[in-house]
Structure 1
Amino acid sequence: MNLIQEKFVSVFPAYQVATQSRPDGGILLTLRAADGKVTRRVLTYTQLHSAEQLSWAISAIRRDLAEQASELPVISMLQSQQRFALPTYR
């Protein structure tokens, strides 16, 4: 296991981590959750070799994973709310 993959394994312990090298020097990061959901992100060479940019990329991936974990209500459920006229004042 290379250092980059070890880093992502330590940052995302709840996921099965796989990395694949890209011709431009970046990687394709694949995170597989226990329920089978797969998340893929491309990280550039610059992101991998700058501590600040790597930190930002990890934060963005964490945010995306948190967003995916919360199920948003279906639009039809929101549309079924009762509608009524707003009061008018004269």
Structure 2
Amino acid sequence: MDLIQEKFASVFSAYDVTTQARPDGGILLTLRATDGTQTKRSISYAQLHSAEQLSWAISAIRRDLAEQASELPVISLLQSQQRFALPTYR
């Protein structure tokens, strides 16, 4: 487990990384930012023991963190302000 924690700590060096063992052989990964926000992800046994799947999992976590950092606008601001019927053709 220490080797796994060291791997994630090196990849996500800007975060405080903790790992907890799961009964199925996977881990629960917790990343804590300096502002106190937490991101938790479950990493399966298969992902931990396949280099390709582990790489995909790390890429997905990086993408999720980047998305959170961009502070996307509220969904109501993205929706159309005017609703109208679609044209019909006869």
After TM superposition, the score normalised by the length of structure 1 is: 0.82
The count of aligned residue pairs is: 82
Output one character per residue of 1:45-72: Cα deviation in whole Å (capped at 9) or x when no partner. Answer: 0000000000000000000000000111
| Map of 1:29 onto structure 2 | 29
What pairs with 1:23-62 in structure 2 (closer than 5 Å)?
Answer: 23-62=23-62
Shift of 1:74: 2.7
**TM-score normalised by length of structure 2:** 0.82
Gaps of 5+ in 1: 84-90
Residue 8 of structure 2 is matched in structure 1 by 8
Gaps of 5+ in 2: 83-90
Rounded to whole Å, the distance in 2 between the matches of 1:31 and 1:70 is 17
Q: Which runs of 4+ in 1 moved over 6 A?
A: none
1:88 — aligned with what?
none
RMSD: 1.8
What CA deviation, in whole Å up to 9, does each residue of 1:2-31 have, x standing for no partner? 100000000000000000000000000000
User: What is the CA-CA distance between 1:76 and the residue it aligns to?
Assistant: 4.9
